[in-house]
Amino acid sequence: MDTIAQGVTVTKTGETGAFGGELLTINFGPHHPSTHGVLRLIVDLDGEQVRRLKPVIGYLHTGIEKQMEALRWQQGVTVTDRHDYLSPPINNLAYALAVEKLMGVDVPPRANALRVIMSELTRLSSHLVWMGTSGLELGAMSMLMYCFRERDTILDMNEEISGFRMHTSYIRPGGVMADATPRFLEMLDKFCHEMPGHVDEYEALLTNNPIWRSRTIGIGILSPEDAKVLGATGPMLRGSGVAWDLRRSMPYSGYENYDFEIATSDMRDCYGRYLVRIKEMRESVKILRQALDKLPDGPVNVDDRKMLPPPREELETSMEAVIHHFKLFTEGYSVPPGDVYVAVESGRGENGCYIASDGTHKPRRVKFRSASFVNLQVLERMALNHMLADMVAIIGTADTVLGDCDR
C-alpha cells in the first residue's frame, strides 16, 4: 500500500497480480473524452483488468451552494440551472418546489402542467445527449448525429418558451416564467407526433447492433441489493430491476394524474440501463401527449404580489404595484424560518433540494442532493474485474454529469 496523492491510498505499483504480473496504477482522466466532463479515476490494473478503482472528483466544483447563500430567493433560480447542465428545468423545479413548500404556496394547475411538460422535454434531451455520446464512445458514431438532431428540436422549444436554449430558468418559485406561446404548443404537438418514430430509429441502430450488444451485455452488473444499499437512483436503480421512480413513488407537480409506466429492466448491466432509458423516452412522450391534450387554462403564476412582480401594465396606474415592484427587486421577499427537502426525478435519478431558511430574504443554506454524486460511488462496485476498455461503457451508462456531481 502506498499513498500517491494526499489521502488517496492505492496498491503500490509493482505488487503481484493474479496473472503473475505487476499491478499497474494509472490515471484515467481527468481529460479523457469519455469521462463526461472531468472525472479522474485512479485505476489499478492487473494486465488489462481493473482491480481497484478510485474516483477523484471536484474538478468542476463551482461553489454553487455558497453562491446560493449570497443570492435572494428569486435570483437563486439562475444558479440552479447550472449544476446539472443537462437538465436545467428539473433543477429549477426542485428549488422552486422547496421554496414554495416553505412558503406554503400552491401553484395553479396550468403552471403544474407546464412544469411537467418542461421536465419531460428535459428528460428526453438529457437521455438524448447520453445516448449520443455513449454511442460515440462505444463505436456507434452516427448515434450522435441522430440524437442531437432531436435534441436541437427540444432546444428550439426551450428558446420559444423561455428565450434561452439551455439555461432556461423557466420554472420559478411561484409558477413559471411565462405562459406557453401558441407556436410552442404547435411545436410540441409536432414533436410528440414525430418522436416515437425517432426512438424507433435509435432502437434500429442500437438494440440489435452486435457491437453495441457485445460491449454492454454482461458489463457493469449491479445487483438490486447493492444499488439500494449504495443509494443509487434513477436508471441505475431501475436498470437493476427496482421499480422506484419519484414521479410515481412520491409524486409532485401533479404527476399522479398522468398515465405512464416505470421503466425497469432485470438485465442489471449496461444494456439494461440502455433499455430503461429507451423505455423512459417513450414514456416521456406519452406524458407530454397527455399534458398537451389536457393542458388546463388559467394563470401560470400565483397571484401574490409579495412574491412575484405585478404585470407591466399595472405599474402605470397603481402606486401599490410600483411599491411591490420596487420592494421585490431591491430587497426581495423573505421566506418563513424552517427547513425543507424536496426531491424530483431527473434524467439521472433523485435530484433533491434541501433549503434551510432563517427568515431573511436570502437562504441560510441550500444543499443539492445530486444523483450523480451518489451514483458515482457505485462505480467501483460495477467496474471491478472488468477490462479497462469496458470502463468506458460503465462510466457512460452511469450517466454522471460532473457539474452536478461537483456543484
Q: Which of 84, 137, 245, 350 binds another protein (CB under 8 A)?
A: 350
Residue 231, CB-side half-sphere exposure with 13 Å CA sphere: 11
Q: Which is nearer to another protein, 104 or 182 (CB)?
A: 104
Judged by CB under 8 A, the number of residues near another protein is 46
Ranges within 216-275 binding another protein (CB under 8 A): 228-231, 244, 249-250
Contact 211, 152 (CB under 8 A): no
- Residues 6+ positions from 170 with CB-CB distance below 8 Å: 88, 89, 92, 118, 158, 161, 162, 164, 176, 177
How far apart are the C-alpha atoms of 216 and 397, rounded to whole Å? 9
Kindly state the cell numbers that stand for 165: 436554449
Q: Which is nearer to another protein, 12 or 248 (CB)?
A: 248
How many angstroms from the chain centroid is the CA of residue 80?
12
Site pattern 91..130 for another protein (x: CB under 8 A): ----------xx-x--------------------------
Site pattern 367..396 for another protein (x: CB under 8 A): x-x---xx-xx-------------------
Q: Which is nearer to another protein, 181 or 377 (CB)?
A: 377
Q: Which amino acid is at 88?
A: P
Q: Which is nearer to another protein, 55 or 132 (CB)?
A: 55
User: Does residue 1 bind another protein (CB under 8 A)?
Assistant: no
**CB under 8 A: which stretch of 37-45, 58-66, 180-188, 255-263 binds another protein?**
58-66
What is each CA distance from 173 to 85, 95, 115, 123, 129, in whole angstroms?
19, 8, 11, 21, 28
Q: Which of 139, 200, 338, 384 binds another protein (CB under 8 A)?
A: 338
> Is the bond into 30 cis (omega within 30 degrees of 0)?
yes
How far apart are the C-alpha atoms of 348 and 98, rounded to whole Å? 19
**H helices, E strands: number in the chain:** 16, 10
**CB under 8 A: which stretch of 120-128, 209-217, 307-315, 333-341 binds another protein?**
333-341
User: Does residue 66 bind another protein (CB under 8 A)?
Assistant: yes
User: Does residue 359 bind another protein (CB under 8 A)?
Assistant: yes
CB of 316 to another protein, least distance (A): 37
Q: Which of 26, 70, 145, 389 binds another protein (CB under 8 A)?
A: 70
Q: Which of 325, 358, 387, 388 binds another protein (CB under 8 A)?
A: 358
CB of 204 to another protein, least distance (A): 37
CB of 232 to another protein, least distance (A): 9
Kindly state the cell numbers that stand for 152: 436541437
CB of 7 to another protein, least distance (A): 3
Contacts 24+ apart (CB under 8 A), 44-49: 44/10, 44/11, 45/388, 46/17, 46/18, 46/19, 46/21, 47/17, 47/19, 47/21, 48/387, 48/388, 48/389, 49/385, 49/386, 49/387, 49/388
DSSP string, 230-288: TT--THHHHTTT----HHHHS--TTGGGS--PPP--S--SHHHHHHHHHHHHHHHHHHH
Ranges within 156-175 binding another protein (CB under 8 A): none
**CB under 8 A: which stretch of 76-84, 201-209, 354-362, 396-404 binds another protein?**
354-362
Footprint of another protein on this chain (CB under 8 A)? Answer: 5-9, 57-58, 61, 63, 65-66, 69-70, 101-102, 104, 228-231, 244, 249-250, 337-341, 343, 350, 352, 354, 356-359, 364-365, 367, 369, 373-374, 376-377, 406-407
